[in-house]
């Protein structure tokens, strides 16, 4: 069940000129969050902007004994709400509704598969908790992580410390491999084939390319969609995604309650 908390900002860590990591005191939401789930956030109490915005729960913060104390979101300054979140001050209250949505299916090591996490930009936010869950199950996990530039590759130590292998790419070549994240992923999948389970979150074009590539190599592929959302609970029907229906038709599924995690093969990519 979703909870709505006026969460205190515990910390606001600027990561670059456009990105920040916001820590929110929402322990009950954090404790109930499964990998891939999201929260609906409103940074102001006025009507401008009016609606909440969806954010992946990036990390669950825990005290020494493992009790959940809060959660973080990875924010990219784009519009009105994300500007407010970039400028948020510790002590400020931010409305946080969640946890929402269907989580990532977490594979088992026993199946002899490995997990390939594919993150584009702010899509990284969907992977920290998933990586923890995979590592806890002793699944060999690789993060393929692409960004515009090296200064926008974040939280690398979080993944390294947990034993996740990193494959980095940047569009400007300033760190990792020069180009798109799909290039090293393709080489990897060509070798590993169906032994790999692919998890993708990032720009829609990246997820579409990854989903097609996964199909080509007979890999299971899940994507976490980032659609414009009004409510997060299935009420507004704004976040729909076209999926294959029977007899060549299609259906619009609400990515808030039928997702955000969906099978990449199910979606009719543009």
Partner 1 sequence: MDLSVTIGSLHLKNPVIAASGCFGYGVEYAGVVDLSSLGGIVVKGLFLEEREGHPAPRIVETPAGMLNAIGLQGIGVRRFVDEKLPELRARNATVIVNVCGTTIDEYVEVSRILSDADGVAAIELNISCPNIKEGGIQFGCSLSGTFDVVSSVRKATRLPIFPKLTPNVTDVASFARAAEEGGADAVSLVNTFLAMVIDIETRRPKISNIVGGLSGPAIRPIAVRMVYECRQVVKIPILGMGGIVDARDALEFMIAGASAVQVGTANFVDPFIWPKLLDGMRDYLQRHSLARISDLIGTVDVESKHKEWISS
Q: What is the Cα–Cα distance from 52 to 7, expressed in whole angstroms?
A: 14
Tokens representing 138 are: 């002793």
Binding mask 29-58 for partner 1 (x = CB under 8 A): -------------x----xxxxxx------
Query: Is residue 211 close enough to count as binding partner 1 by CB under 8 A?
Result: no
Candidates 129, 95, 158; CA nearest to 261 is: 129
Binding mask 64-103 for partner 1 (x = CB under 8 A): ----------------x----------------x------
Q: Which of 17, 28, 190, 228 binds partner 1 (CB under 8 A)?
A: 228
CB of 95 or CB of 156, closer to partner 1: 95
Burial of 270 (0-12, 13-18, 19+ CB in 10 A): exposed
Q: Which of 78, 138, 205, 237 binds partner 1 (CB under 8 A)?
A: 237
Query: Is residue 233 close enough to count as binding partner 1 by CB under 8 A?
Result: yes
Q: What is the Cα–Cα distance from 222 to 262, expressed in whole angstroms?
A: 6
247's enclosing H/E stretch is: none
Query: Is residue 8 close enough to count as binding partner 1 by CB under 8 A?
Result: no
Query: Is residue 6 close enough to count as binding partner 1 by CB under 8 A?
Result: no
Tokens representing 112 are: 């002899």
Q: Are strands 38-42 and 53-56 parallel, antiparallel or unpaired?
A: antiparallel
CB of 180 or CB of 251, closer to partner 1: 251
Q: Which of 90, 163, 173, 235 binds partner 1 (CB under 8 A)?
A: 235
CB of 126 or CB of 243, closer to partner 1: 243
Candidates 80, 94, 6; CA nearest to 43 is: 94
Q: Which of 241, 258, 261, 267 binds partner 1 (CB under 8 A)?
A: 241
Number of residues that this document lists for the chain? 270
CB of 53 or CB of 113, closer to partner 1: 53
Query: Is residue 140 close enough to count as binding partner 1 by CB under 8 A?
Result: no
Q: Say what the alpha-carbon torsion angle 56, 31, 96, 7 is, to the nearest 10 degrees.
A: -130
Query: Is residue 257 close enough to count as binding partner 1 by CB under 8 A?
Result: yes
Q: CA end-to-end span of the chain, whole Å?
A: 33
Q: Which of 4, 8, 18, 177 binds partner 1 (CB under 8 A)?
A: 4
Candidates 68, 77, 70, 67; CA nearest to 20 is: 77
Binding site for partner 1 (CB under 8 A): 1-2, 4, 42, 47-52, 80, 97, 227-228, 230-231, 233-242, 250-252, 257
């Amino acid at each position: 069940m979703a909870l709505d908390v006026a969460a205190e900002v515990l910390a606001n860590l600027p990561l670059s000129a456009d990105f920040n990591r916001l820590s929110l005191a929402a322990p009950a939401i954090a404790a109930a969050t499964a990998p891939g789930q999201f929260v609906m956030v409103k940074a102001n109490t006025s009507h401008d902007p009016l609606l909440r915005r969806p954010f992946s729960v990036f990390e669950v913060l825990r005290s020494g004994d493992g009790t959940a104390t809060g959660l973080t979101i990875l924010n990219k300054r784009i519009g009105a709400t994300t500007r407010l979140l970039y400028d948020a001050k510790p002590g400020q209250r931010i409305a946080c509704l969640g946890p929402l949505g269907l989580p990532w299916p977490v594979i088992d090591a026993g199946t002899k598969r490995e997990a390939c996490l594919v993150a584009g930009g702010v899509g990284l936010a969907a992977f920290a908790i998933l990586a923890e869950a995979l590592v806890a199950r002793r699944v060999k996990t690789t993060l393929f992580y692409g960004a515009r530039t090296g200064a926008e590759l974040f939280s690398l130590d979080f993944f390294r410390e947990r034993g996740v292998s990193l494959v980095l790419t940047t569009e400007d070549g300033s760190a990792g491999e020069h180009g798109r994240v799909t290039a090293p992923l393709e080489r990897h999948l060509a070798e590993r084939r169906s032994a790999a389970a692919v998890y993708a979150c990032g720009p829609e074009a990246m997820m579409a390319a990854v989903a097609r590539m996964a199909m080509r190599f007979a890999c299971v592929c899940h994507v976490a969609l980032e659609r414009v959302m009004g409510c997060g609970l299935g009420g507004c029907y704004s976040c729909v995604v076209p999926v294959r229906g029977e007899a060549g038709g299609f259906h619009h599924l609400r990515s808030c309650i039928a997702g955000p995690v969906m099978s990449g093969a199910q979606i009719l990519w543009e």
